Amino acid sequence: MPALPNIPRAFSARFLALAAALVLAACTPTAGPGPGGGPRVQAGEPVPVALLVPGGGGNAGDAVVSRDLENAARLAIADLEGVAVDLRVYPTGGTAGGAQAAARQAADEGALILLGPLYAEAANAAGRTVAGDGLNVLAFSNNAAIAGGNVFVLGNTFDNVAGRLTAYAASQGKGDIFLVSAQTTAEEAGRDAVARAVGASRANLVGNLSFALNEAAIRGAAPRIAEQVRATGADSIFFTSGNAGAMAFLPQYLREQGISSQTTQFIGLTRLDIPPEALSQPGLQGAWFALPDPALQSNFRGRYAQAFGGQPHPLAGLAYDGIAAIGALAARGDALSRSSLTTGSGFVGVNGIFRLRADGTNERGLAVAQIRNNQVVVIDPAPRRFGGAGF
């Protein structure tokens, strides 16, 4: 493993101490691998971990994210105390076939767990390939449709975001929600996640409206949204679109109809602060969205830049989180099994606290932020433990 340059240790000690505290609360050793389980870690031996990255297929973007995922994983390994990880990197070319071949090779070469791949189809293929070997897969995908069995998704899901924002809206007297979505596969999945979150909270879904994802349809939807918001008495409007889609236009069109976040709270399922230029959009002032713990994210970005130069890809932290979870379990001598991975007390990573669910999805501690005066302001901090505020 290449040496890491000048990584500060003070943050590492605090970080791993919190990780240990979270795991110790409810992590019970397993008797050994079972159906969908995983192998035990050998005491005193490095843990062989296969990192499946999307590079190797000639795509420049995949090459960048692959590099940053590996860097983040090695940063996490350097932070582990009392546990050694033998990280083995396998390019998948970003395809399901490549992931299948990489997973087979990793299992044959003795990996005890797979970290990655990134894309949903690739993760699904990798999981099927090693299911018979009793190995679990911690995929970087956020697609809940592939979760289950021996595949866990580390990516932040629509259900995580919708649940956090819906519960917060209800607590702030903004729980009569009107849901707005574009007619795309992703936004329909987001719409369904918001509907589930509302059903599980003290909020109410007072209406919904969808439209085709083109500028003419978005403009035409604005007066209909305004009319229905007024008719239903909605306290808030929950948008599934991001700034790469309808939110580049819709807030301004709604302002022209007399609807803004000053009259009806705007809530975004996606990061409304991306790209940074969006923060100056008049129609987004006052809007809410969710994001990972900003303090931990900032610390990670600073440490990554010091170690490797430049800023990490937004997904790189998922590799750190995966290593943090594996290292915490290995420190206890637990099997890398479903029952150990799904400990209720969870883990802590550079994106904040998280825990894996028995259905293969995850729960993450998120902050609620608001856009004010062209800046991001945290209005409800990310929880630092499960069972507290925010859950």
Residue 115's closest CA among 324, 328, 334? 324
Q: pTM value?
A: 0.86
In whole angstroms, what separates CA 54 from the centre of its chain? 18
The 3 state secondary structure assigned to 130-158 is HHHHCCCEEECCCCHHHCECCEEECCCCH
Residue type, 84: A
The rounded distance, in Å, linking the Cα atoms of 267 and 107 is 44
Asked whether 204 and 175 are in contact (CB, 8 A), the reply is yes
From first to last of its 391 residues, the chain has per-residue pLDDT tens of 333 333 333 333 333 333 333 332 323 222 234 334 578 888 788 999 999 999 999 999 999 999 999 999 999 999 999 999 999 999 999 999 999 999 999 999 999 999 999 999 999 999 999 999 999 999 999 999 999 999 999 999 999 999 999 999 999 999 999 999 999 999 999 999 999 999 999 999 999 999 999 999 999 999 999 999 999 999 999 999 999 999 999 999 999 999 999 999 999 999 999 999 999 999 999 999 999 999 999 999 999 999 999 999 999 999 999 999 999 999 988 889 999 999 999 999 999 999 999 999 999 999 999 999 999 999 999 998 887 555 5
**Strand order, beta sheet including 113-115:** 85-91, 47-53, 113-115, 137-139, 151-153
The CA-atom distances, in angstroms, between 137 and each of 52, 126, 225 are 10, 8, 42
The rounded distance, in Å, linking the Cα atoms of 288 and 269 is 9
Residues 6+ apart with CB under 8 A from 252: 281, 282, 283
